[in-house]
Chains A and B, each alone.
Chain A
Amino acid sequence: MAKSLRSIEIRERVLGKNDALAESLRSRFQESGTYVVNLVSSPGTGKTALLERTLSELNGERRVAALVGDLATENDAQRLSRSGAPVRQITTGGNCHLEAEMVRSALQDWEPAGSEVLFIENVGNLVCPASYDLGENLRVVLLSVTEGEDKPLKYPPIFHSADLALITKVDLAEAVGFDRAALQANIAAVNPGLPVLELSARSGEGMEAWLELFRNR
């Protein structure tokens, strides 16, 4: 006799566990008065350079800390700890993105006392981090002038999920023939109204507007 098939309804979000954990992290951050920023970009856009300068500029003025994700090395944490701010590395062991559980676990035995701003540097990847809420208040997508103005069109989910776009390495804009209008149009195509800031962590150009976001938090 043929086996009969029975359909069972499930209706469960695949990332429901991550989302629930991210929500509980978000309430915990709210209770401790910590504003959390998730930085996402391709490898080489300058997340670490930006964070290095950001931590150095803000440290002493605000209580800042950083969690940095990397596939295999602790190089970024070593670089960033020179700022004097508390920094912890999350080594994902090959995982291409951070998940809420990794953040929870990193904070289990390391909660920088009274942090007012916690920066989370995601793994360099413009695809996978888009799907994972880390409990952040602000998701910032970085794009350097050397990467090509069509990146937002090639990676819509991450640009769509961001709250702010940062154009980095603007000190090189002229040398690489950066087309500002084209990039603005491409960002608007995937996330109309997304605020955009331009800066260079090396020259310092545009840094003030970025730092201002955290000075009054």
Chain B
Amino acid sequence: MHELSIAESIVDIVTETVERRGAGRVAAVHLRLGALAGVVDEALLFSFDVAAAGSPVEGAELRIEKVPVTVYCPSCRIDRVLAGVQPLCCPTCGTPTPTVISGTELEVTAMEVEDG
């Protein structure tokens, strides 16, 4: 369970941005989370509230955008989106592929702050 340390890193990133930009209260934090990132969203949501307590991010809502795994199929020569995290093969023709185009993301994309 490393979601707490992930949550602490998210809070640090947002706190730094708040301080740099002189922003007000943070209402929401947006995160892109790949299916292959190895992070459980429920555990992260719980950990986020704990990590945010006492920081400028306290009370903010963590909004998680889940990113499915996309692989490149060398046979079809096109990117294909998988329904789950395995098998890593083309869902259409079945060719195995190690080429993951997306689905490992773990990225803070934006925050919403209150002005005034």
Contact = CB atoms under 8 A, between A and B. Distances in A.
Interface of A: 1, 3-18, 95-97, 99, 127-128, 130-131, 152-153, 156-158, 160, 188-194
Contacts of B98: 191-194
B100 A17 contact: no
Nearest to A154: B86
9 closest pairs, A vs B, by CB? A189-B87, A157-B38, A128-B2, A192-B96, A3-B114, A156-B85, A130-B38, A192-B98, A14-B106
Contacts of B23: 6, 8
Contacts of B17: 8, 10
B1 interface: yes
Interface of A is mostly: mixed
B2 A14 contact: no
Interface in B1-19: 1-2, 5-6, 9-10, 13-14, 17
A152 to B, nearest CB: 8
A5 B114 contact: yes
Contact of B87 (A8, A96, A130, A190): A190
B86 A14 contact: no
B37 A157 contact: yes
